[in-house]
Each structure stands twice: as structure tokens, then as C-alpha cells.
Amino acid sequence: MTVWDDLVGQDRVTAQLTAAARDAHAYVKAVTGGEEPELAGSSMTHAWLFTGPPGSGGATAARAFAAALQCVSPDLALGGSPGCGFCDGCHTSLVGTHADVEVIRTDLLTIGVKETRELVRRAQLSPAGGRWQVIVMEDADRLTEGAGNVLLKAVEEPAPRTVWLLCAPSTEDALPTIRSRCRHLALRTPPVDAVADVLVRRDGVEPDVARAAAQATQGHIGRARRIATDEATRARRAAVLAIPARLTDVGGCLRAAQELVDAAAADAKQLAEERDEKETEELRAALGGAEGRRLPRGTAGAMKELEDRQKRRATRTQRDALDLALTDLTAFYRDVLARQFGSGVALAGGESAAAIERLAAASRPEQTLRRMEAILACREALDRNVAPLLAVEAMTMALR
Ligand SMILES: [Zn+2]
């Protein structure tokens, strides 16, 4: 087992990161030995941008690289490859407790100037463990322009042992100024077989279930794992895939839209209940407001700030849940289209194969394309903050 094991179907990226980690270790060794080595010209650099379709593992790659940079395996001295997966450096990096690895994962729609400034300040500190100070930013596409400019300075003039690992869906999602200063690593959608293999090996899923889940999600590992292991996720997906057949009249369209939005809202509410209350209690306690007692004066602002944050997070959770449903619907119509063009590819739908066949026979490819466009338009409307129900209703009407 090594730190790269969770990186499925990304041999080229793994090779590149391994080479970088090797050079990084040589650099640290030289510095420790009193030399003044140069990073320029080596495989290692201070700023990296990981891109890839959702689920391809950009964040996983970044975390594996962070671990390899902190690897302290005794085998390194014998020419071993960094990222053993066993040593203290690898282990603590992967579980998120290494003092010099910070993972920024936001559940908000944007990352603002204030938190970025604070992050940049911490990034300038020397690594406590004497190796690298690593900052993994999982949602670099969510940086506001102002925050991007703050980060830009840090990326342009990094502290000697600071490494920025930024993740975004595509290079277009990263601010151009930042993008141009990062070394870019593009992950590909992992092959269905590789995903199925991981589910069997790591999660103990039955081979045929693993294969169906991998195929249904087209290489999105996290989602494939949830479908293969979580009953509620499977049920929700089945409900989404049953929608196309129900869109026969206006009433059916409006009902389906309402259900989609309600399901997403219920998802958001459940997650919020799990997290908000605990957070609020923790903050109350931190502010000195013991149970049942009034909060000290001057702390209302902090409580309000938390409340606002929780509200924005609920918005994002609901949007993510809707987005997932739209992804499943898109896959459904893509299968319909494949059938209409007589392609022999395996259907992603699996359980909805009969519905796919029926719709393929009963409609024309142009109609299917129009329907896929309607889903895309719904996505774009949601991105523009159109009220979810309005956007989804417009979509289901167009899917009729
Ligand atoms: Zn190690």
C-alpha cells in the first residue's frame, strides 16, 4: 500500500508527482546539509493546479502528493520512493493531522478575501516538521476575484518551503492569473473497470454491484462508492431515473419538479441538522455562554456570522444535491441518444435500461438533444441564482 493507491487510473499523474516528490526530498536534504539548492529546473515547484472532471480525484491526488512530500520512510535513504503510506509523515498527512498540511475545503459558494488573507499568512510560516508547508485548496474555483488576487501574491513569491496545491474542475474555472503561475496536472476520468476494481478491493463491494455502480456514474469514484454502499442514495437515484417516464403532461412535469427540489431541500436540511447545532453549541461555549446562560456582551456579531455562514452552506448543499440529480438525468438521456444512434456501448442506466429503450424507440435524436440542452439550461439558471423550483419546472416542461 502506498499514498497513491486511491488515485484510480491516473498513472501519468502519479508518475509526475512521484518524480516531483523525489526532487523535493533531494532539495530538503541539500538544504539540511547546508547547501543552497535551486528548485528551478527540477520536477518540483511551489504551485500546482489539479484539474479533472468531478470525481476523477483531483483532491485525492493533491492529498497523496502532500503525504509524499511529508514522507519520512527510512527507505528514502536507500533510494525508495516517497509516499510509502506507512510512516508517520504519510499517515498523519492522509488522515489530516499533520502540522504542516492544511486542507481547505469549503462548503460555501465562494472563498473570500478575509479567509484567504489569513491562509496566506499561515502559509508563509516555516514548516514545523522541517520539510514542506503544504496547503491543499480543494475548491480553488470558488475563490472570489479579490481572494484570487490575495492568493496570487503568495503564489508569485512563495516562502522557500511552501507548496500550494489548488484543485478545480477545469483550467477555465481557475482565475487566469493564478493558472498561469501553476504547474498544471490534468486528471482523466478513470475507466469503469478501474473504479469497479477499487470498490471491490477497498470497500468489499460485490463485483457485479461494483461494476454496475461504476458504470452508472461513469468514473465518478465517490459517487460510485455511495451508490454501491448506501441504500438511500440508490433509492434517490432510482427516483430520479424514473422521472423521464412520468413527464407525460403538465401536471406530471410540475409534480416531478417539486419532488426534485423537495428532495434536494430535505438533503440540505438533514445535513444542516447534523452540523449546525453542534457548531452553534461549540461557538456558544467558546464565547463563554454556558448552557442556558446569556452570552456575554459583544459576542452577538460572532453568533450572527455563524448563522449567516450556515445559511449560505444550506444553499450550497441544496444546489449540490440538485446538481447530482441533473447529472443522473443527463446520463439517462445520453444513453437514450447512444441507443438512437445505434451505438453498442454499455448503458450507464443499468436498472433503467427498459425506460431508455422505450424512449429511444419513441423519439428522435433531435428531441433527445433538445432535452439534454434543457438540463444544461437548468444548470446555468441555477448558477445564476434563479429560484430552484422555477429553473427545475422550466426544465421538466422542456423534457416532456
Ligand atoms: Zn511515508
Of 196, 226, 199, 225, nearest to 211 (Cα)? 196
Distance of CA 92 from the midpoint of ligand 1 (Å): 10
What is the signed CA dihedral for 356, 360, 362, 365, rounded to 10 degrees? 140
For residue 103, report the phi and psi dihedrals to the nearest 5 degrees.
-105, 120
Distance of CA 74 from the midpoint of ligand 1 (Å): 8
Distance of CA 72 from the midpoint of ligand 1 (Å): 5
Distance of CA 104 from the midpoint of ligand 1 (Å): 22
Distance of CA 87 from the midpoint of ligand 1 (Å): 4
Question: Cell 508527482 appears where?
Answer: 17
Distance of CA 135 from the midpoint of ligand 1 (Å): 18
95, 128 in Cβ contact below 8 A? no
Report pTM: 0.72
Distance of CA 94 from the midpoint of ligand 1 (Å): 10
Distance of CA 126 from the midpoint of ligand 1 (Å): 21
Distance of CA 128 from the midpoint of ligand 1 (Å): 17
The SS3 call for residue 99 is coil
Distance CA 257, CA 252 (A): 9
- pLDDT at res. 113: 92
Helix (H) or strand (E) holding 307: helix 300-340
Of 151, 166, 165, nearest to 121 (Cα)? 151
Of 307, 332, 328, 323, nearest to 264 (Cα)? 323
Q: How far is CA 217 from CA 44, 106, 193, 220, 324, in A?
A: 34, 24, 12, 5, 10
Distance of CA 67 from the midpoint of ligand 1 (Å): 7
CA 260 to chain centre: 22
The grid coordinates listed for 373 are 440542452
Residues 6 or more apart from 313 whose CB is under 8 A from it?
Answer: 107, 108, 272, 275
Distance of CA 240 from the midpoint of ligand 1 (Å): 43
Distance of CA 365 from the midpoint of ligand 1 (Å): 53
Distance of CA 91 from the midpoint of ligand 1 (Å): 7
Distance of CA 4 from the midpoint of ligand 1 (Å): 11
Cβ atoms within 10 Å, residue 105: 11
106, 143 in Cβ contact below 8 A? no
Distance of CA 18 from the midpoint of ligand 1 (Å): 12
Cβ atoms within 10 Å, residue 123: 19
* pLDDT string in tens for the chain (400-residue length): 899 988 888 999 999 999 999 999 999 999 999 998 888 889 999 999 999 877 788 999 999 999 999 999 999 988 889 999 999 999 999 999 999 999 988 777 788 899 999 999 989 888 988 799 999 999 898 898 999 999 998 999 888 899 999 999 888 888 888 999 999 999 988 888 999 998 998 889 999 889 888 888 877 888 888 889 888 888 888 899 999 999 999 999 999 999 999 988 887 887 777 778 877 887 877 777 666 667 777 778 888 888 887 887 787 788 888 988 998 899 899 889 989 988 765 555 556 788 898 999 999 999 999 999 999 999 999 988 899 999 999 999 999 9
Distance of CA 114 from the midpoint of ligand 1 (Å): 34
Cβ atoms within 10 Å, residue 206: 11
Distance of CA 201 from the midpoint of ligand 1 (Å): 22
